[in-house]
Chains A and B, each alone.
Chain A
Amino acid sequence: MIDVIDLKKSFGKLEVLKGVNVKIEKGDIVCVIGPSGSGKSTFLRCLNCMEDPTGGQIIFHGVNIADMRVDINLHRRKIGMVFQQFNLFNNKTVIENIMLAPVHVGVSDLRNAKLHNFFLPLTNMFRKKKNKKSALEITQTKAQIKEEARKNALHLLERIGLSDKADVYPSTLSGGQKQRVAIARALAMNPDVILFDEPTSALDPEMVGEVLDLMRELAEDGMTMVVVTHEMGFAREVASRILFMDQGVILEEADPKSFFESPKHQRTQEFLSKVL
């Protein structure tokens, strides 16, 4: 689904990613681990071009989204992202946080379709007969789009066990609740893949479990996930593959069992002996 080819990223003179090659297939649960500063976050943020790569390609559904000419917003709708610091919208209630992007996308698509249809007679005058375009189908009104997004959001809230928090502001939630809402917000767009950057690192220890449990459920439901994490237990148990990053390259790539039991590289062995 995502094909990373020779990905490079520099910040000024500092070369952070030095040619990363990875294939992420549908249903994969890829855990990225490695020492601090090795480029894990940068790698993850390149996958949806939150950082623009300075070299290489990110092929998502057959399109190189690292190319500055593609409309990245269109592709980002299908790549969810969950942040270490949650980043819930402070000025929106919990349910508004979840509904915002789906409603925005639905409404702006509707507006574009209406515009297209309105100008169609005009634009078609300049097209040859066989090239003439037809009107776009409009199936939903604005109110229906909102209603559907609300239903979907309530459904997601039920799933993460926070139905009673729908109308409160994020500042009133605990860290674990915030992160679960952030995951629900990502899910609301029906993404093909979700990227997690240390989703439990900012949490108090007693809240780590609830977030990891939710992620485990997603994994069981077949969601494709790329997770940067320091939770070795989670990686070992849930991951389908482990990437070990060090100094801007993927030093080792293996299934969890062989990765944790018989790491090949000396750097990997050193790292594991420190964290396990």
Chain B
Amino acid sequence: MADIAIRWSKFWRSFWINEGYIRVFSEGLKNTLIIAVVGLIIGIVIGTLIAAVKVMPKYKILPRILDKILALYVGFFRGTPIVVQLLLAYFVIFPMVGINIGSINTCVLVFGLNSGAYISEMMRAGIQSVDPGQMEAGRALGMSYSVTMMKIIVPQAVKNILPTLGNEFIALIKETSVASFVAVVDLYKVFTEIGTSNYEYLIPYLFMAIIYIVLVMLITLGIKIMERRLQKSDRRN
């Protein structure tokens, strides 16, 4: 018990008295959230576009070629660990082509591309779960395939897959802990530094775990609220 008290006082010194908390929130948490949130948004955009191409009728040559290319993309990002993708991008590809967009932007981009691959599969299932009559009605009114897709089909598909999208966001939040591989100061990095400052890791890492859990709980709650709001169109009133 005394042991815990000592550990706690050590942690408290570096976290509170030496103002470690400032770094936790203004850098660690901030970077973690930026990577996860912006990554998710990029992922949703990419995933939706890929899914829209995938469900296109395939009697023209262009969609067929696109389909093959996209299959390669999805195969690569789902087939390799995200750490590998991150290291490849940061240490190999970007230096090779000679551009430097910074480590956080690299993370955002890689996480976006990665979740785009996963979300495309979810979105395709979502789109296919929408009654084909909806597309027919849109087309019969003279709206194009893509307009009907974006205005009618995708909103309904998103609603259908909202829980799965929530899971993807949760997975993304947790996966961001590999960002420190490319020198991003995320939650994991900050708490490791706090631990290193006085060789006391137990409480910092527990604290980190609690922050992750709170984040995940908040997301879960947010999804629930969104679901309830979107169900308006299902209910009689």
Binding site for B on A (CB under 8 A): 48, 50, 73-81, 83, 85-92, 100-101, 104-105, 168-172, 182, 185-186, 189
Contact = CB atoms under 8 A, between A and B. Distances in A.
A76 B143 CA distance: 8
B98 interface: no
A90 B156 contact: yes
A219 B144 CA distance: 29
Contacts of B137: 81, 83, 87-89, 182
Nearest to A52: B59
9 shortest interchain CB distances as A-B pairs: A77-B142, A87-B137, A87-B133, A76-B142, A81-B140, A101-B141, A169-B233, A172-B236, A73-B142
Contacts of B232: 169
B134 A171 contact: no
A89 B139 CA distance: 12
Contacts of A74: 142
Most buried by A among B133, B155, B232: B133
Contacts of A76: 139-142
Interface residues of B, number: 24
Interface in B102-158: 131, 133-134, 136-144, 147, 151-152, 155-156
A182 B131 CA distance: 16
B26 interface: no
Contacts of A170: 233
A140 to B, nearest CB: 19
B159 interface: yes
Contact of B131 (A81, A87, A189): A87
A87 to B, nearest CB: 4
26 contacts: A48-B140, A50-B136, A50-B140, A73-B142, A73-B143, A74-B142, A75-B142, A76-B139, A81-B140, A81-B141, A83-B137, A86-B133, A89-B137, A89-B138, A90-B134, A91-B152, A91-B155, A91-B159, A100-B141, A101-B142, A101-B143, A104-B151, A168-B237, A169-B234, A169-B235, A189-B142
Contact of A87 (B136, B233, B235): B136
Contacts of A83: 133, 136-137, 140
A259 B184 CA distance: 81
A171 B235 CA distance: 7
A80 B136 CA distance: 12
A241 to B, nearest CB: 23
Nearest to B140: A81
B142 A105 contact: yes
Contact of B152 (A48, A89, A105): A89
Nearest to A169: B233
B141 A189 contact: yes
Interface of B: 131, 133-134, 136-144, 147, 151-152, 155-156, 159, 232-237
A171 to B, nearest CB: 6
Most buried by B among A80, A87, A91: A91
Contacts of A92: 152
A90 B233 contact: yes
Contacts of A189: 141-142
Contacts of A105: 142
Contacts of A73: 139, 142-144
B202 to A, nearest CB: 50
B75 to A, nearest CB: 31
A135 B234 CA distance: 47
Contacts of B155: 91
Contact of A77 (B141, B156, B159, B234): B141
B56 to A, nearest CB: 15
Contacts of A50: 136, 139-140
Given A87-B133, A172-B237, 12 more contacts: A75-B142, A76-B139, A87-B134, A87-B136, A87-B137, A89-B138, A91-B159, A91-B233, A100-B151, A105-B142, A171-B235, A189-B141
Contacts of A80: 140
Contacts of A185: 141
A80 B137 CA distance: 10
A233 B76 CA distance: 62
A152 to B, nearest CB: 14
Nearest to A78: B142
Contacts of B143: 73, 101, 104
A91 B151 CA distance: 9
Contacts of A186: 141
Contacts of B141: 76-77, 81, 100-101, 185-186, 189
A88 B152 CA distance: 10
Nearest to B230: A91
Given A76-B142, A89-B137, A104 B147 contact: yes
